[in-house]
Amino acid sequence: MFQIRKSLLVALAASLVAVTTWLPSASAQDARAAQQVKLRQSAYTVLGAQMGLMGAMAAGRAPYDANAFRAAAERAAAMGNYVPELFPAGSITPSSKAKPELWQQQAEFQRLMKDMQGNVTALATTARGGDLEALKPAFGATGASCKACHDKYKAD
Ligand code: HEC
């Protein structure tokens, strides 16, 4: 009995070695794609959190704090200008919500990125002025530019 189990284990170990040495580049590529997706989703999570902070103030659900709003807008602008770098070809995994079409429709995807970047940069500039009434439309335009891309290139 022990002998049989031992030989089974040896056979299993040998087949695992065979599989892993047979597919080294595929698994390295998978690991890289998983890391790229994780970084991209993390950057978007930071961006989304700043939009949440600003949105609560813009909608009057949280008291307006000009300094906190400005800090959030600056973090959002930094992330908004960073995310376009986080879509290298092949960076897709089952946990990614990115639609594969975005890599085939680069002109449109980049146009939507630039639109968002312009809006979030303008929002940060407006936030320096500290005028809540001026911030509301700038915030609304930024949110609309997020949605425009999500509607096309992000799965629900
Ligand atoms: C040009 C396209 C584009 C623009 C503009 C865009 N996004 Fe996204 N966003 C995506 C794609 C694609 C994903 C899916 C990423 C993935 O899962 O690989 C995503 C994912 C997200 C996620 C989910 C992250 C996660 O953990 O799964 C959040 C939150 C998010 N975006 C917020 C925003 C906000 C806020 C803005 C605007 C300030 C914005 N996005 C603008 C394309 C865009």
- pLDDT, one tens digit per residue, over 141-150 is 999 999 999 9
Which residue's CA is the nearest one to ligand 1's atom 40? 146
Q: Which atom of ligand 1 is nearest to the CA of 37?
A: 18
C-beta of 154 in contact with ligand 1 (< 6 A): yes
- Signed CA dihedral, 27, 33, 38, 41: sign only: negative
Q: Which atom of ligand 1 is nearest to the CA of 115?
A: 5
**Do 132 and 70 touch, CB atoms closer than 8 A?**
no
pLDDT band at 21 (very low <50, low <70, confident <90, very high): low
Q: Measuring CA to CA, which residue among 96, 94, 4 is closest to residue 42?
A: 96
In terms of residues, how long is the chain? 156
- pLDDT, one tens digit per residue, over 1-18 is 556 677 766 666 666 555
* Average pLDDT in the chain: 92
